[in-house]
Amino acid sequence: MISKNYFVIFVISSINLIQCQITNQYDKILSNQPDYIDAKYIPSMLHNDHIYLTIQYKCSSLTPRRISLSINIERTLYRTNLAIFRRYWFCHKSPNVQLRYVRVQLHRSIAYRSDSELKLVSWPIEEGQLKLIMYKNNQENENEMLKKIQYNVRFLPVHKRPSIRSFRWHPLINKTRDSICPAEPEVIRIIEYPLVLTGRAYGKHFVLPTYHDYGLRLERQIRFTKPRFSIIFWLYIDEYYASESLAVHSAILQHLAFNNTYLTPGIFLNREGQIIVNMFGNLYDRMGTGARTIESIAKKDWCRMAFIVNEYKWDVYINCLQTWDKPIIATHTSPIYYFFDDQLGTFIVGGSVLTPSFRGFISQLDIYRRIALTYEQLPKKLNHSFMPYLPSIIQKSSECKRHFNSFTQSREQADLFNKRIQQKFTCDAQPFLLKKPNRQCLLVRTWKHNLSLPAAAFTDVRYRIYRALRRRKVQSMLDVANKLYDLTMKILESDDFDSFCNLIISWSEQAVCYGHPSASSLLATFHRFGLCGLQSNSTRVQSYSKNLLVFELRVQVVDLEKILALELLFTGALLNDRISLLALGHRHFYELDGVPIDYDIAYVYYQQMAETSRQELYNPKAGEASMEYVRLTDDKLIGQLTFDKSDSFYWLRHQAKRGVASAQQRLGALMYAGRNGLTRNIQAAVEYFRLGAAQHDPSSHFGYGLALLKGQGTKKNIAKAIQHIEKAVEHGYLGAKVALGYHAYEIERNYTKAAQYWKECFDQTRDANCAHNLGVMWASGHYPPNYVVDHAQAWQYYSFAAQHGQIDSRVVVAQYNARGGHPVIRNPSLAAFWSRNVAEESSSVGSIVRRALEAYQDRRWHSSFVFYMQAALAGIELGYFNAGFLCNELKESLSKKSNDCIEELLNRYLMVHSQNLQIDSYALLNVAEYYQWKKRNFAEAIKLYVQLYRNGDAQGLYHLAQIEETNSNNTIPSNVWVQVGIRFDEKIIANRYRRLQFVYQHCRQLKTAKSDESYIPCTLAYLRISMLILLNEPSKLILTIILMILSILLFIFRT
């Protein structure tokens, strides 16, 4: 230590000698300057290890002047300077320049690394400012500054700072432990799998994780007004905006506060395809600063876009695959700072309630926190190893190009025919005028000749298209697609698959190519489940697979049929096909077919369908059908269905015509909703409501009043509607107050009156609709008398209404859980769950299930099976169960293996239905037997048998005993027997046969709804085990024989 101090003194002395020479030179140069101040030889890096600053100064006043030296950092949000080092002294009049050496002693949070023992947190700040100020007098007053000099200085990075010295008994342990800090990701993958954006107001919500390290949290606050981050993603733009959209811009990425105000950054597309970037200076900046690119981004191509922000500057780099070497580059520098807090509000990829999205795909979105990349650091060309799945557009395949050529040929021939018919010169009108066969006439005749081929071999529809165009029955490819899809559905309903399989597949493919949305999900059903012989080794599938993008890389992940099905689902979802949207959401929710689990993306697809279901409820159309959960094992419920041509329907209609009010109300409700096997018929339903209201039926009064209020099925008449609704209330239907409140709220704008109606309705009947409306009033600040926004109160009403089936509240609850914020903690899985429940009630799903049920009633097994498979593709648990039931019962006629029926259908039903306790016993029993005998997975089989027993089916207990009997001792743990209500006595617990005897005896004595089915098997098993016990115990066998002989003799003597 002494030698070190001598060395320091020597260094200072050397510096003094050098500075004396310098001072003499400065005296000559600065002799004409009365006041002077400066800092010389500032080190490149400041720290606390013997760093001295050399300060030169000169004063001309007799009054002492104050000189202040400080080192400041910008620490807080408002950019106020925080001094981490301060020194001051006084300067007296002198003709020469004076020197002063100041030793730097930085704040320990800047000089040292973090130390948990000393509760020291190191600040991750590497830049600061050195300020040197001379005042006119000896007071520190900003208005009295004479000279001011400022330099930028740097500090040691956090990982290079030394540990602070302290008296600790375990320095080595602390040194090792303090050097280890928890890793926090700086690059966050937001989207891995492609997200389909349909041009509507829906997008993926996400929030960035909170930093755990205090230093990182502090740096984030420092960077509020000096942000650095990078966002990189791939996008495919099919259209810049949806055809029905009226918005000026389409959203790519939005950052919204919880009150739906924009935050930094916002990335949008205008209608010309130019990228628009919006940045905001503070939380209250409503306008922000925006700029747009000069060039437009290409459509119909995958492009990588990088958005990089570095304090006051942002850059945009766009590289498309077809023009990779010609990137679009845009740069903008702002005169003001940006405000960016990556943990405030929520980010949305795609559309929102403020701005809809473009139409296309987004994939592989990464956010680099606190990192501003350069163009050279960006990922290069598309690396398929990092992109697990890249959807291609089916319409760009060679198969579709062939169909496009067919349509073009048909249109040319139709135009030529129409042109020649005006000249009375056609192939059919005047063939004798042709000296030699005309080429066009021969082409049409060839097409026509193909119609005579067997239907199984005939897939060429060019003559049909030509004839429809010639007769002007169709005008475009979409019209042709609609016709082909309708013909396909008629064939499906005919139940003759063996003869028309090729025709179904061919016409469906053409309808997909021509742009029919629903044809995509129908064809995906055939590919996904291998219907009509579509297997991975089939010629059709192999030829079609050559058109897929990077097929060789993706085939290793999932089977070929699943890849083809996903391609079709992406194509259908892009066209807003409802089944395709549900199917993609289902795969993200349950991680199926190689699709990664992502509840936020599942919510995007489900929410679009949920909004569609909500619109269908309030704006019903004739011909629609509601979703009905009818299992094919429930013969009683199937027998109660009221189909359009059933005896129960004719009887109900007969009763309604005779004036039975209950029949009129029942028939009106069923026709309005399209339930119980009836097709929706609004006008007929309203007429039945009118007849019931004439007999003062309260429900009919309410139904007829609502129809008059909304103008559905009859002419709108508000005054008459209110009269009927009030009569419904007078006759005891208190739930009708919801309509009176609606009239007061929407039409009269009387919030006090509306609140009174809805509050009375809720207090008296606990009506879910009234609860939802009260939530709307609280959320919008319309609830009297204070008229303040209270989301906590609104949430209470929304939650109650959602749990009681109110569709609007379920949608709102899903939105709350997707975004988070007061008073709800963000829960993406719960958001997807709520939106899925609403989405599955869509009439598109209801129509498919209705077709399947009608086909089952008519014993058209193949048709019923295909429609239920389509519902299963969409993730509907009823589709999985009924398709599994048909597959298992009719597997020979359906050419399906029993393993496929269990694994692909009934097992999936249990997975989807896991959150519901009322699981059908048929599925539990078949899947449990499959695990027991095929998979030899006794643990899973035991779990299912226990659940089967809890459902009230004694077969679960019987099969548990069978597992115990046929396998080694103690196969079933004791806790499992406790779960089924069996506790063995200490006398029999060690004897295997005694335990089995006790279980079978318990099985015989059960009294449940299905105990009769298991009584005989349990009794026979009980007798068999009892005989085995007797054979294993000779003394008891002899005693039993003696007793039997005595009983026989006693019986003989008595007779």
pLDDT tens digit string along 912-930?
876 666 788 888 888 888 8
- pLDDT category at 452 given cuts 50, 70, 90 is low
The pair of structure tokens assigned to 509 is 């493919």
CA distance 424 to 427: 10
- Give the mean pLDDT of 366-395: 73
First to last CA, the chain: 124
Closest CA to 252 of 227, 229, 277, 228: 277
- Give the mean pLDDT of 798-812: 94
Identify the pLDDT of residue 463.
Answer: 77
15 pLDDT more than 50: no
Identify the pLDDT of residue 23.
Answer: 46
77 pLDDT more than 70: no
- pLDDT category at 435 given cuts 50, 70, 90 is very low
342 pLDDT more than 80: yes
Identify the pLDDT of residue 3.
Answer: 46
Highest-pLDDT range among 407-421, 727-741, 839-853: 839-853
Identify the pLDDT of residue 386.
Answer: 45
CATH number of 628-732: 1.25.40.10
697 pLDDT more than 90: no
- pLDDT category at 305 given cuts 50, 70, 90 is very high
What secondary structure, in 3-state letters, does 483-519 show? HHHHHHHHHHHHCCHHHHHHHHHHHHHHHHHCCCHHH
- CA 799 to each of CA 155, 806, 816, 942: distance values in angstroms, whole numbers, following the listed order: 53, 10, 10, 37
Identify the pLDDT of residue 356.
Answer: 95
- Give the mean pLDDT of 513-540: 80
CB 736 within 8 A of CB 723: no
314 pLDDT more than 50: yes
The residue assigned the tokens 């004063």 is 59
**Out of 77-86, 373-382, 612-621, 702-711, which region has the weakest mean confidence (pLDDT)?**
77-86
Residue that wins the pLDDT comparison between 928 and 389: 928
Neighbours of 282 (CB within 10 A): 14
CATH of 24-160, one of 3.30.160.110, 2.60.40.1930, 2.10.260.10, 3.40.640.10: 2.60.40.1930
CA distance 852 to 872: 12
| Per-residue pLDDT tens digits for 21-40 | 444 544 554 556 788 898 88
443 pLDDT more than 70: no
Identify the pLDDT of residue 895.
Answer: 63
- Give the mean pLDDT of 289-317: 92
1044 pLDDT more than 70: yes
| Per-residue pLDDT tens digits for 199-215 | 999 999 999 998 887 77
- pLDDT category at 11 given cuts 50, 70, 90 is very low
Residue that wins the pLDDT comparison between 367 and 703: 367
- Give the mean pLDDT of 654-676: 80
Residue that wins the pLDDT comparison between 648 and 328: 328
- Give the mean pLDDT of 213-239: 87
Closest CA to 729 of 702, 753, 755, 747: 702
In whole angstroms, what separates CA 574 from the centre of its chain? Answer: 16
Identify the pLDDT of residue 840.
Answer: 92
573 pLDDT more than 90: yes
308 pLDDT more than 70: yes
525 pLDDT more than 80: yes
1040 pLDDT more than 50: yes
Q: Is the pTM of this model over 0.85?
A: no
| Per-residue pLDDT tens digits for 82-116 | 888 999 999 988 888 888 989 988 888 888 888 77
126 pLDDT more than 90: no
679 pLDDT more than 50: yes
Count Cα neighbours of 768 within 13 Å in the Cβ-side half-sphere: 12
Identify the pLDDT of residue 1022.
Answer: 82
Residue that wins the pLDDT comparison between 608 and 991: 608
CB 201 within 8 A of CB 576: no
Identify the pLDDT of residue 464.
Answer: 80
**Out of 89-103, 804-818, 830-844, which region has the weakest mean confidence (pLDDT)?**
89-103
CA angle 863, 868, 873 (to 5 degrees): 125
Identify the pLDDT of residue 381.
Answer: 64
**Out of 170-184, 271-285, 462-476, 703-717, which region has the weakest mean confidence (pLDDT)?**
170-184
558 pLDDT more than 50: no
Identify the pLDDT of residue 284.
Answer: 75
Closest CA to 599 of 198, 875, 205, 880: 205
CA angle 247, 251, 257 (to 5 degrees): 105
CA distance 507 to 523: 10
Highest-pLDDT range among 148-157, 409-418, 833-842: 833-842
In whole angstroms, what separates CA 788 from the centre of its chain? Answer: 32
Q: Which residues have C-beta within 8 Å of that of residue 870, sequence separation ≥ 6? A: 521, 522, 525, 579, 848, 879
Neighbours of 383 (CB within 10 A): 9
354 pLDDT more than 50: yes
- Give the mean pLDDT of 349-375: 93
- pLDDT category at 660 given cuts 50, 70, 90 is confident
Share of the chain above pLDDT 70, in %: 84
Q: Which residues have C-beta within 8 Å of that of residue 186, sequence separation ≥ 6? A: 368, 369, 370, 371
- pLDDT category at 121 given cuts 50, 70, 90 is confident
Identify the pLDDT of residue 444.
Answer: 62
Sorted by where each begins, the domain ranges of the chain are 24-160, 187-387, 395-557, 628-732, 848-916, 932-1029
Neighbours of 883 (CB within 10 A): 32
Q: Which CATH class is domain 187-387?
A: mainly beta
**Out of 549-553, 706-710, 827-831, which region has the weakest mean confidence (pLDDT)?**
549-553
Identify the pLDDT of residue 436.
Answer: 41
Q: What is the mean pLDDT of the chain?
A: 82
- Give the mean pLDDT of 285-304: 88
Q: Classify each residue of 87-112 as buried b or exposed e, where b means 16 or more C-beta atoms within 10 Å of its C-beta.
A: beeebeeeeebebeeeebebebbbbb
CA distance 1054 to 1047: 11
Identify the pLDDT of residue 730.
Answer: 86
- Asked whether this chain's domains 187-387 and 628-732 adopt the same fold, the reply is no
